[in-house]
């Protein structure tokens, strides 16, 4: 099989991303969510797949992005796009600061305790947001209406999220090609040795989380505007949905690979939508089953499976 270069695939996706909104306008919202899922999966994979730190708390940064945008747009008194831009910048700044803070505290913890700790972080964030009146407490926050014709809003955010997904992918792709990428893998494979070799593991880990936080916050601000309303538990800090799906998508596609998370996001999102359309009433049952099947029978993910097949075919031991 002729190896598809990364650029071929990216070209196809670019065409799809740019063209689909016009070819199938009824799918615009689904497409926007797809790009969001891609960002979720890619950022999670950097920590979970590449670095071996399974985080259930990445949703915190997404939520920070949501709320930062909502607050700025509510209080800054600026016209829509200026407020949105400021909100996104502020969200990114706060999220990165949060990653620095939490990273310092939690990234020293290993294995599943790290996972649990970040889970606790996610829930705490959701509950604090739900209790804090300034951000609307349990009633959540509504975002201002998009100034434009009907349909323009959906198109704008579809392209915006698409842009974020592309930038995220390209940035990570570049990062993984540098020493930083190798360092991440070293931490995953044997952190003590990496430490002994002189790698500044703590700095690297925190930096990775900051990068993830950055992209998550920006996509959060955009997603919040697209949805129009943020609920602390169901939208912003949706640990039980988005927070877990991040992990599943990366695993489904293949942890630690470049295209794995993207593939996983696409397959997962499409499958979910199909469940919703055709299995209504049973779609969450199907989702539960899917999760069990992926995790138990298919933990190497699609890319992992392809790699094994290819290796088997070429005679090497998988």
Nearest to 138 by CA among 147, 128, 149: 128
Task: Kindly report the length of the chain.
Answer: 318
8 A C-beta contact, residue 53 and residue 191:
no
Q: Is 267 in the site for another protein (CB under 8 A)?
A: no
Nearest to 68 by CA among 143, 168, 154: 143
Q: Is 240 in the site for another protein (CB under 8 A)?
A: yes
The single residue listed with the structure tokens 């900051």 is 210
Measured from the Cβ of residue 306, the count of other Cβ atoms closer than 10 Å reads 16
Q: Is 236 in the site for another protein (CB under 8 A)?
A: no
Q: Is 281 in the site for another protein (CB under 8 A)?
A: yes
8 A C-beta contact, residue 32 and residue 157:
yes
List the beta bridge partners of residue 229: 142
Q: Which residues from 19-78 bind another protein, rule CB under 8 A?
A: 26, 29, 54
By CB under 8 A, name the one of 14, 24, 97, 295 that touches another protein: 295
Q: Which residues from 102-121 bind another protein, rule CB under 8 A?
A: 105-106, 108-113, 115-117, 120-121
Q: Is 139 in the site for another protein (CB under 8 A)?
A: yes
Comparison of 233 and 269: residue with beta carbon closer to another protein:
233
Helices marked H in the chain: 6-23, 28-45, 59-75, 80-106, 111-131, 152-177, 179-196, 201-227, 244-253, 260-278, 283-297, 301-313
State the nearest-atom distance from the C-beta of 130 to another protein, in Å.
5
Q: Is 150 in the site for another protein (CB under 8 A)?
A: yes
State the nearest-atom distance from the C-beta of 98 to another protein, in Å.
13
Separation CA 47–CA 109 (nearest Å): 14
State the nearest-atom distance from the C-beta of 292 to another protein, in Å.
4
State the nearest-atom distance from the C-beta of 298 to another protein, in Å.
11
Q: Is 152 in the site for another protein (CB under 8 A)?
A: no
Q: Which residues, other chains included, contact 268 with Cβ-Cβ below 8 Å and sequence gap of 6+?
A: 37, 245, 248, 249, 252
State the nearest-atom distance from the C-beta of 166 to another protein, in Å.
25
State the nearest-atom distance from the C-beta of 107 to another protein, in Å.
10
What residues line the site for another protein (CB under 8 A)? Answer: 26, 29, 54, 105-106, 108-113, 115-117, 120-121, 123-124, 127-128, 130-131, 137-140, 142, 145, 150, 229, 231, 233, 240, 244, 247-248, 251, 276, 280-282, 284-285, 287-297, 299
């Amino acid at each position: 099989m002729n190896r598809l270069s990364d650029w071929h695939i990216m070209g196809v996706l670019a065409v799809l991303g740019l063209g689909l909104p016009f070819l199938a306008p009824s799918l615009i919202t689904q497409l926007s969510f797809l790009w969001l899922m891609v960002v979720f999966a890619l950022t999670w994979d950097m920590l979970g797949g590449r670095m071996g730190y399974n985080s259930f708390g990445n949703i915190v940064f997404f939520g920070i992005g949501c709320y930062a945008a909502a607050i700025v747009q509510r209080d800054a008194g600026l016209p829509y796009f200026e407020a949105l831009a400021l909100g996104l910048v502020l969200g990114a700044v706060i999220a990165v600061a949060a990653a620095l803070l939490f990273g310092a505290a939690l990234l020293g913890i290993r294995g599943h305790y790290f996972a649990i700790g970040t889970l606790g972080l996610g829930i705490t964030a959701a509950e604090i947001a739900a209790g804090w009146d300034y951000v609307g407490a349990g009633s959540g926050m509504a975002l201002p209406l998009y100034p434009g014709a009907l349909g323009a809003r959906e198109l704008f955010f579809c392209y915006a999220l698409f842009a974020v997904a592309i930038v995220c992918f390209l940035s990570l792709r570049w990062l993984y090609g540098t020493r930083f990428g190798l360092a991440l893998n070293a931490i995953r494979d044997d952190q003590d040795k990496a430490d002994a070799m002189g790698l500044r593991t703590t700095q690297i880990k925190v930096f990775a989380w900051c990068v993830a936080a950055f992209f998550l916050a920006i996509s959060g601000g955009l997603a919040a505007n697209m949805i129009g309303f943020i609920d602390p538990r169901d939208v912003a800090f949706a640990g039980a949905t988005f927070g877990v799906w991040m992990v599943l998508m990366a695993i489904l596609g293949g942890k630690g690979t470049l295209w794995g998370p993207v593939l996983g996001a696409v397959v997962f999102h499409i499958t979910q939508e199909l469940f919703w359309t055709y299995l209504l009433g049973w779609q969450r049952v199907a989702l539960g089953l899917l999760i069990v099947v992926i995790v138990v029978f298919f933990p190497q993910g699609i890319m992992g499976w392809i790699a094994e097949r290819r290796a088997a075919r070429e005679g090497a031991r998988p």
